[in-house]
Structure 1
Amino acid sequence: MPVGGEEYRILHPEAAEALIDEADFERDERLPYWADLWPSALALAGRLAAEDLRGVRAIELGCGVGLPSVVALRRGAEVLATDHYRAALDFAAHNARVNAGRELPTALLDWHSPPREPGSFDLVLAADVLYERRHAEALSRLVPRLLALGGEALVADPGREGCAAFLAALERAGLRVGSERRAVRQGGRGVGVYVHRISR
């Protein structure tokens, strides 16, 4: 698939619904959202493809199959890809090896119970992670903790209900929010996605 004028080969499961684990769903209504390549990931990847990210420390939250992480890696960033699913991290690492020729550091990360000191990053990335309100609340607490002084977050979202609450919580915490709309094509149709830029 073309991203920013360059070709990427992104491996992902053929049918996400086949990966539903009944025990995971019973425990916390967990669904394998990671297995799809969402329009928001394409929009965020396109945004990153125009950036010089050499020397930038980045983390992707809910990386799924890892397209934004892979693009950031190719643009020179040091990237940590995180997800709640081990299988997602395996796909992201594979896609990094295929497309960037480099190993992609990965880590399991539960947004609701993050490490006490999660580290600080110049760039926090997330694509279509606000599909549940509880995620919006957890991420509005986590993102500011991850941002280094002078850092920024890029959060791509198609307009899900949780996004407005997430952005409002960040603004109440004193962060600045700017938004741009990007159009991507997927499955032969155009899809509009907002990329929100969050900074201190």
Structure 2
Amino acid sequence: MTEISEPHGQLTVTAAGRSWTLERPADLESLWQSMDEDDPEAEEHIPYWVELWPATLALCGWLARQELAGRRCLDLGCGLGLSALVAANLGARVVGMDYEQGALHFAARNARINSVPSPLWVRMDWNKPGLAPACFDRIWGGDIFYEQRFFEPLENLLLCSLAPGGKVWFGDPERTVSSTVWSRFSRRGWRVRNQSREVVPFDQARMTVNVWELSRPLAI
């Protein structure tokens, strides 16, 4: 899979066997520089969502190899929407969830641009999720354990929202901050498997990404 940056806030990427055009307002560096440094909440709204991260690209390849048609799916931190669009294109019933309204705006635009049946885009904080119990067959997210404080709320969300027999997939680069996450899930009774390891080109470099699969604990 190859990512190509283009002018005017647009990306073209090949993933899951087809080409995608993704609009965004600007790149991360430009938006970051325009943020108000005196805003006490600025750190909570760093626009990471405008980038297409290697973990998302690896996840898209993994999703393309799964049976998703008709399944109820949740994309955690959907960003520009690519992995949600890949799943929707495969016939899944997808909810794309993000904390940033700007991300959802562009994700919806990208669904229209790529002629994909639009997922349901939902603005929600995973610290305070408003999801029905056991409502998703598949849940995934790309590169979302970049802070250790996210572990507890995300596990609580999974325990509530994953249906019996459901699976969770996390695309995760080999970062120090997330290296202990998988053993932590395992100690809490989750079945954890490393299903894929892929080297993804990114920003004139290469990043190793693992796709981890979690299934519901034997006892909760």
Give the TM-score of the pair, scaled to structure 1.
0.89
Structure 2 residue corresponding to 1:171, chosen from 164, 171, 186: 186
Q: In the alignment, what sits opposite 2:95? A: 80
After superposition, give the CA deviation of every residue in 1:38-57 in whole Å (9 maximum; x if it has no partner): 11111101111222311111
Q: In the alignment, what sits opposite 1:101? A: 116
- Post-superposition offset of 1:190: 3.0
Matched, 1:46 2:61: yes
Q: Identity over the aligned pairs, expressed in percent?
A: 36
Q: In 1, distance between residues paired with 2:122 and 2:92?
A: 17
After superposition, give the CA deviation of every residue in 1:41-96 in whole Å (9 maximum; x if it has no partner): 11101111222311111001111101110100111100000011001011111112
Q: In 2, distance between residues paired with 1:187 and 1:127?
A: 17
Q: In the alignment, what sits opposite 2:52? A: 37
- Post-superposition offset of 1:112: 1.4
Q: In 2, distance between residues paired with 1:52 and 1:117?
A: 23
One-letter amino acid of the counterpart of residue 83, structure 2: P
Higher helix share: 1
* Corresponding pairs, count: 200
- Post-superposition offset of 1:136: 2.3
Of the two, which has the highest radius of gyration? 2
After superposition, give the CA deviation of every residue in 1:128-175 in whole Å (9 maximum; x if it has no partner): 111111112321222222210000011001023342343233223321
Describe the shift of the 1:162–1:148 C-alpha distance in structure 2 as closer, same or farther (beyond 3 A). Answer: farther
Q: In 2, distance between residues paired with 1:24 and 1:42?
A: 34
Name the Cα RMSD after superposition: 2.1
Describe the shift of the 1:117–1:169 C-alpha distance in structure 2 as closer, same or farther (beyond 3 A). Answer: farther
Describe the shift of the 1:165–1:139 C-alpha distance in structure 2 as closer, same or farther (beyond 3 A). Answer: farther
The question of whether the paired residues in 1 share the 8 Å contact of 2:77 and 2:144 is answered with yes
Matched, 1:62 2:72: no
One-letter amino acid of the counterpart of residue 105, structure 2: D
Q: In the alignment, what sits opposite 1:145? A: 160
After superposition, give the CA deviation of every residue in 1:164-187 in whole Å (9 maximum; x if it has no partner): 343233223321110121222234
One-letter amino acid of the counterpart of residue 64, structure 2: A
Q: Which stretch shows the higher mean deviation, 58-67 or 171-180?
A: 171-180
- Post-superposition offset of 1:191: 2.1
Ranges in structure 1 where 5+ consecutive residues have no aligned partner: none
How do residues 157-196 of structure 1 correspond to structure 2 at under 5 angstroms?
157-179=172-194, 180-196=196-212
Describe the shift of the 1:25–1:38 C-alpha distance in structure 2 as closer, same or farther (beyond 3 A). Answer: farther
Q: In the alignment, what sits opposite 2:17? A: 5
Secondary structure in structure 2 of the residue aligned to 1:142 = helix
Q: In the alignment, what sits opposite 2:9? A: none
Q: In 2, distance between residues paired with 1:106 and 1:164?
A: 30
The question of whether the paired residues in 2 share the 8 Å contact of 1:59 and 1:123 is answered with yes
Give the TM-score of the pair, scaled to structure 2.
0.82
Higher strand share: 2
